[in-house]
Amino acid sequence: MSGRPDQVGVLDVGCFSAHLVVVSGSPLHPVVSHKTRLRLDRALDRDNRLRPEGVEQVVTAVHAAHRIAERAGVSALVPFATSVIRDASNAEQVISEVARRTGTRLRVLPGQEEARLAYRAARHWFGWRAGPLLVLDVGGGTVELAAGDDVEPSFTRSLPFGARTLTRRLALNRTTPRDHRGLAKEQVLVHDRVVAALEGTSVGEHRAVGCSKVFQQLARLAGARPQHEGPFVPRALRLADLRGWIPRLSRMPVPRRARLPGISPHRAEQSLAGALVAEALMVATGYDEVEICPWSTREGLLLALLGAGDDDDEYCRVA
């Protein structure tokens, strides 16, 4: 494929949804935004294999997305799977089965590539006058970090401490929400791994940015303006506010968490783990406040498609 595609799309297959976004010119105003709800977290067995019912959910979602993309006249579509499939112990079998039944082979992006794309998205969102950026992205399976002061990050890391991963580990280790020693132990583990990952880098003078649903929902929980007020309303998460909410979340049953501002019902179970990881990231990087960016990996992919001008760009070679 050569030249600049007029209308491009990304199909983001994650734990809770398969989200098709089609844009023409800018990710800010999608032509199409369609979600098929998934609950792949409930389809993982103890060995982290995605069971057949999970594969069925993905197949159905991919079929629906392709019908919508075809009607929208998409000239290039990147279908990719996030860590819930990437890190499944039967990931290759799942991807092959979905490809056999739908004709679409889901891409799996390495964690560091997700970090790079999230950084590119955040840099575009805040503009080239943003200065040096530190991007923190708490996903379901992994945490991505990226930092730099140019178009491309000078540093990227991916760590296995996503909200779903930590929730599952706490459950497998029989750590209950009220077991504060168990929670504190996990928090220290995350903190120490982040510090080790950052060794030799200098991010203290960067603009700290949170690029994920976890950061968005925690910021709303801590008092940030609701999403319906628009993406341009400045939002931030303060460490002091987050620390005030962690013990409260630990004492709440999941149904009660789901009624809190910003906590969606399907993410309520993972909300405590997400808060623990976010707090550990902020402490390890030395920031008392993180600005919220509504764009992340998906928008980074869309920007790559929209800005690709030659056949050497890997994201152009899709159909």
Sheet holding 8-13, edge to edge: 32-37, 17-23, 8-13, 76-81, 107-108
Q: Among positive and negative, which fits the CA dihedral 121, 122, 127, 130?
A: negative
Task: Give the span between the Cα atoms of 303 and 297, in whole angstroms.
Answer: 10
Mean predicted lDDT score pLDDT of the chain: 90
Helix (H, G, I), strand (E, B), or coil: what is residue 245?
A: helix
pTM of the model: 0.90
Q: Is there a contact between 155 and 146 (Cβ–Cβ < 8 Å)?
A: yes
Largest Cα separation within the chain, whole Å, is 57
Report residue 291's pLDDT band, with 50, 70 and 90 as the boundaries: very high
DSSP 153-171: -SEEEEES--HHHHHHHHH
Task: Report the pLDDT value the prediction gives residue 4, as an integer from 0 to 100.
Answer: 42
Q: Find the range with the poorest average confidence among 8-17, 78-87, 167-176.
A: 167-176
pLDDT, average across residues 47-59? 97
Host H or E run for residue 207: strand 207-210
Predicted confidence band of residue 257 (pLDDT cuts 50, 70, 90): very high
pLDDT band at 172 (very low <50, low <70, confident <90, very high): low
Rounded-to-integer distance, Cα 308 and Cα 317, Å? 10
The strand ranges marked E within 24-75 are: 32-37
pLDDT surpassing 80 at residue 202: no
Contacts of residue 159, Cβ cutoff 8 Å, sequence gap at least 6: 111, 142, 143, 145, 190, 193, 194, 197
Q: Which of 84-88, 160-164, 306-310 has the lowest mean pLDDT?
A: 306-310
pLDDT at 316: 44
319 has a pLDDT exceeding 90: no
CB of 318 closer than 8 Å to CB of 302? no
Of 125-129, 132-136, 202-206, which one has max mean pLDDT? 132-136
What's the pLDDT score for residue 6? Answer: 74
**Stated length of the chain:** 319
Amino acid in the structure at residue 32: V
Q: How far is CA 131 from CA 27, 79, 128, in A?
A: 22, 32, 7
The residues facing 79 across adjacent strands are: 11
Which of 313, 316, 178, 315 is closest to 253 using CA atoms? 178
pLDDT of residue 318: 43
Give the pLDDT of residue 280.
92
The pLDDT of residue 204: 75
Check whether 146 has a pLDDT greater than 60.
yes
- Band the pLDDT of 312: cuts 50, 70, 90: very low
Look up residue 82 and give its two tokens.
């996030």
Among candidate residues 170, 185, 203, 216, the one with its CA nearest the CA of residue 284: 203
Cβ-contact 72, 24 below 8 angstroms: no
- Determine the Cα–Cα distance for residues 213 and 278; give it in Å rounded to an integer: 11
